[in-house]
Amino acid sequence: MRRARFLLPIFALAAFCGCDVPVEQYPANQLHALVVATSRHVPTEVAAQDSAAVVEAWFGTPIRPRWPVDQMSGAAAKQLVDPDHLMRAAGRVYSDQQNRHFGLFNEHCVTCHGVAGGGDGPASLLQNPYPRDFRAGVFKWKSTHRSSKPTRHDLTTILQHGVPGTGMPSFASLSTEDLQALVDYVIYLSVRGEFERGLISQAVDTLGYEIERPDPEASLTTLLDPTGDSPAESSDAMQVARQLLDQICGEWVDATAEVIEVPAETPDDAESVRRGRELFHGQIANCVGCHGPGGNAEVATLDYDDWTKEFTTRLAITPSDREAVKPFRQAGALRPRQIHPRKLSDGVYRGGGDGDTLYRRIVGGIAGTPMPSQIIAQQATATGLSQAQVWDLVHYLHSLSGVHSLSEDQVEQ
Amino acid sequence: MNQTPPTETSADDLQTAGDAAPPSGGPAADSRWLHRLSLLSVLLVWPLIWVGGLVTTYDAGMAVPDWPGTYGYNLFLYPLSTWLYGPFDLFIEHGHRLLGAVVGLVAIGMVVAAVVERSRRWVRWLTVGILLAVISQGVLGGIRVLLGDRTFAMIHGCFGPLVFALCCIAAVVTSRTWWQRRRAVSATPKPLANWVVVVAVLPVLLSYLQLVLGAQLRHVQPATTPRTFTLIVAVHIVTACVLWLLTPILFVLVRRCGDLTLSRPAGWLILFVGTQILLGTGSWIVNYGWPSVLDFLPFGEGFLVRSKGFLDSIIVTAHVAVGSLILATSAVVLVQTLRQKYLVAHESN
């Protein structure tokens, strides 16, 4: 015992600095519980507590994550993620003699995205834009329609290429296996987070949670003890929970079918750039309204992304009202920050700048932001663009950033 | 064991009390090997800090799961080919351990040299302190591995610069110039005021505070709140600016005494802290992207962070290593300031 005394100052110092206790539980989504409570005027403490317990029972912990195949009905959903990949991405950071890295999410992502992928990691507050909150199931950079989930390929591409102009790095140096493990873990966190959000909402809206639990048939606690007296398999709570999980997983499974088709590119010539310029500054596309003349971003705008609007404008709260926002910040929200339209003349496209990607960006918009999607028709109409017109816009955008061989002056001529 | 023969004690006391009066032949000549080993320790510990920094930058701290051995082998018997041609993480982690072991051997050599060469008593204790510090640092690294605990990695990272600073002090106090200061003191146009010592202490404290804050950011825990992290970043930046403002003041103050051994390191300190601020900014950029406060610069738009890129890793690791250099230089300036004060007092007496 005496011999161990020399270690006392070390342990005291460790206690002072904050011990590296493994995070044993995912933090509960208090922010969404508060949003639901504010929007429905119903206390959500019990609903949030029971939802968190169900989510942990079904999805496991940061040390032992699990994919709840036993609760899913679709075969494709069961194979959506590889449980082995989840174990590689979760837990503490180490590597072996074969250079296989473990704890990949903790090694590469957790400082910004947080333990539960809530976009609220330690360094999040100092990033602009804030890191993505996976729990809403909304992703900006993807090849699919605005309301659809991204494909695995989309997530892999973002991991490989990074997002220029933001804190999101390029992980091009990682092996394919490591990247796929991270993609699986991101999907897992997103499904888990969206399921938790949905369960809190459903507990209040459908199951009748208020200040106390509803009757056992509708109580989420029956899901925690299926061997008990309660008829868990047929209970309302079980049906609601499984239906919700199937719906979320189904959206991920269907993502590949939701990819925006890109037609053959039209000729990239001066005439196309001129037409694109007119469309950019015209009434139908009206890109100039936000991005400014020539995409110079010199337009005064006041808008926020959907993650911020969720706890502010959609609850009739002014984002700049510090007192009104304070409870949400205490529940985990980051400080509301305006979103600004991109300057298009510098050639920096965060989600990729090749022709196909820009085509999809114009058609699908950017989910979670004010950038809208477009209605695409076979022929140009007064309210929608044709496929050829979208390509004209793409050619004009390329010309702005110098990708196109023609300068602005030549286009003017 | 600890008792010294009466004759030696009196000689020691004479030397300790009157550092300004070297015995015949001069301690610089007598402590030749100790000085050489001290210099060697400085030349080894700084690269050791670089390699240790790389270990953290590449998250390679757990590339070898056991300690003190390496994958079941004795530290020195791990197959060379597996080490050199194996994974990079294993290469730097095992290399870090080997270099640490070499530093340990040099520290033992310093103690032996100090005893054999009958150095001043407090110098002997300094070498013993360095040896204990090196051993403690190794044990801290071992605990970090065995417990898989990042907090111990942080403590290990904070303790390394202290070892480096001690080695630098040992190199300075065993050098020839330490004794030649007498002549310089005789010609000192203006003795240092007492409060200059206070100004010299501040960079030591502030630079170590910076190291601790930096370690908190580098080994940040997943459960740390964004507000806490932001607060640490803010304090880190403000302290860096205060430190940089302090260094020219210190330089001007110590320059008045006309002693180059004092003013030179004080001048380097200005350069080191300025470089460190640039490296810190670079470290943030390569880790977290271009900060909004630097949006006015034209080349930041579209900057892409590359995870564990080589140049990026070097910038981050250089920030760690220069932090240690600043602490050590501050400590040397402080020791030289105290020496100057002591010699002036001795001369006047």
Residue B313 is predicted with a pLDDT of 96
pLDDT score of A403: 61
Instruction: Kindly list the residues from chain B whose CB atom is less than 8 angstroms away from the CB atom of residue A12.
Output: none
Using a CB–CB cutoff of 8 Å, tell me whether B226 touches chain A.
yes
Number of Cβ pairs closer than 8 Å across A and B?
Answer: 136
Task: Answer whether B135 touches A (CB < 8 Å).
Answer: no
Contact B233 A165 (CB under 8 A): no
Q: Are B212 and B332 in contact (CB under 8 A)?
A: no
Instruction: Give per-residue pLDDT as tens, A256-268.
Output: 999 999 999 999 9
Task: Tell me the pLDDT of chain A averaged across its residues.
Answer: 90
**What are the backbone dihedrals phi and psi of residue A355, each rounded to the nearest 5 degrees, phi first?**
-55, -50
- A77 pLDDT tier (thresholds 50, 70, 90): very high
Secondary element (H or E) of residue B283 = helix B260-288
Question: Which B positions 299-318 lie with beta carbon below 8 A of chain A?
Answer: 301-309
Minimal Cβ distance to A20: which of B140, B149, B301: B149
Reading the block at residue B239, the tokens are 């302290």
Chain B residue with the nearest C-alpha to that of A21: B149
Closest Cβ–Cβ partner in A126, A162, A171 for B288: A126
Q: Of all helices (H) and strands (E), which one includes residue A161?
A: helix A152-161
Q: Which of A132, A48, A10 lies closest to B159 in space, CA to CA?
A: A10
- Give how far the C-alpha of residue A380 lies from the chain's centroid of Cα atoms, to the nearest Å: 33
Chain B residue numbers with beta carbons less than 8 Å from the beta carbon of A338 are: none
The candidate with the shortest Cα–Cα distance to A178, out of A65, A67, A81, A89, is A89
Tell me what pLDDT residue A377 has: 84
List the end-to-end C-alpha distance of chain A, in Å, as a whole number: 88
What are B97-143's pLDDT values in tens digits?
999 999 999 999 999 999 998 888 999 999 999 999 999 999 999 99
B36-82 residue pLDDT tens: 999 999 999 999 999 999 999 999 999 999 999 999 999 999 999 99
d(CA B102, CA A121): 39
Decide if A170 touches B, using CB distance below 8 A.
Answer: yes
- Among chain A residues, the shortest Cα distance to B145 is held by A94
Query: Mind telling me how many Å the CA of A175 is from chain B's nearest CA?
Result: 12
Report the residue of A109, A111, A158 to disrupt the B interface, i.e. the one with the largest count of B CBs within 10 Å.
A111
pLDDT surpassing 80 at residue B187: no
pLDDT digits (tens, 9 = 90+) for B278-290: 999 999 999 999 9
Say yes or no: B248 contacts chain A, CB-CB below 8 A. no
Token match 């995912």: residue?
A26
A238: Cα within 13 Å, side-chain hemisphere: 17
| pLDDT tens sequence across B151-167 | 899 999 999 999 999 99
Provide the 10 A C-beta neighbour count for residue B183: 8
pLDDT of amino acid A347: 85
Q: What is the pLDDT of residue A101?
A: 93
What percent of chain B stands above pLDDT 90?
73
- Residue B47, pLDDT score: 98
CB B167 within 8 A of CB B38: yes
Is A334's Cβ below 8 Å from some Cβ in B? Answer: yes
Contact B57, B89 (CB under 8 A): no
Whole-number pLDDT of residue A412: 52
Residue of B56, B58, B62 best to disrupt the A interface, most CBs of A under 10 A = B62
Share of chain A above pLDDT 70, in %: 90
- pLDDT tens-digit readout, B220-244: 999 999 999 999 999 999 999 999 9
CATH of A270-301+340-412, one of 3.10.20.30, 1.10.357.10, 3.10.450.350, 1.10.760.10: 1.10.760.10
Per domain, the residue ranges of chain A are 23-258, 270-301+340-412
Closest CA to B16 of B111, B109, B125: B125
Cα–Cα distance for residue pair B63/B145, rounded to 1 Å: 9
What would the two tokens of residue A299 be?
């337009």
Indicate the residue of A13, A23, A348 with minimum beta-carbon distance to B155: A13
